Amino acid sequence: MSRTLLLGLALALGSAMTACASSEADTFAGAVLHRPYHAPATELTDTDGHPFSLATSTDRRLTLVFFGYTHCPDECPTTMATLASAMLQLDESDRDSVQVVFVTTDPARDTGPVIRRWLDHFSSSFVGVTGPLATIKKVAIDVGVPVDKGRRLPSGGYDVTHGTQVLAVDGKNSVPVVWTMGTTAPEFAHDIHQLLS
């Protein structure tokens, strides 16, 4: 992803957030949103072919959501590996209260089986979700994540531009905290424990 695009995404994310009181913000590595996003009930499909909604299908106390694609060369595998490491750093009680959801931004290539095989490299517990691109974009926009088909590559393929933030969806279907690219596994683990506490 280009430096210009990353800067643009950072600015867009920054404009959607305001600084919280230092006593609250200092407890999280992620950004605490004064105006939380709300997870939409829009229906997508999980890798088993079952309907999946960020609002109604997440049955854990906390759900971490990342929009990406399996052909992504850098941010996506890095983020999923970091989340997998963070989950291993949680105690069993916290781990059982968290669900990680990967929503593809490239449904033309990311079929259910493709997503499932890719996610299993990180954790068999991670949930994969797909659907029509227009529907995925709508869900992404509702939670403040930009998604668009990118440039065609010399190989004949294409890349996909997307926000690289990880979203925390709580039991009220609100998104109170967002983590940006570069958040470490220990930082995720710390914040997850704080949110569950």
**Is the separation of the CB atoms in 13 and 163 below 8 Å?**
yes
Residue whose C-alpha is closest to residue 48's, from 124, 105, 135, 137:
124
Q: Using alpha carbons only, give the angle 164, 115, 92 rounded to the nearest 5 degrees.
A: 75
Confidence band, pLDDT 50/70/90 cuts, at residue 52? very high
CA distance 97 to 115: 23
Q: Which residues pair with 129 in a beta bridge?
A: 46, 103
Residue 59, pLDDT score: 82
Residue 162, pLDDT score: 80
Write the DSSP string, 118-169: HHHTT-TT-EEEE--HHHHHHHHHHTT--EEEEEEPTTS-EEEEE---EEEE
Q: Within a 10 A sphere around the Cβ of 96, how many other Cβ atoms?
A: 11
**Is the separation of the CB atoms in 128 and 112 below 8 Å?**
yes
Name residue 42's amino acid: T
Q: Within a 10 A sphere around the Cβ of 50, how many other Cβ atoms?
A: 9
pTM, whole model, 2 decimals? 0.83
**Is the separation of the CB atoms in 176 and 36 below 8 Å?**
yes
Model pLDDT for residues 56-92, shown as the tens digit of each residue: 998 899 999 999 999 888 899 999 999 999 999 999 9
CA distance 23 to 19: 11
Q: Which residues pair with 162 in a beta bridge?
A: 147
Whether the per-residue pLDDT at 156 is higher than 60: the answer is no
User: What CATH number does residue 157 fall under?
Assistant: 3.40.30.10
Parent domain of 36: 3-196
Residue whose C-alpha is closest to residue 167's, from 178, 181, 157:
178
Q: Average model confidence (pLDDT) for the chain? A: 85
97: tokens are 């209260």
Total number of domains in the chain: 1
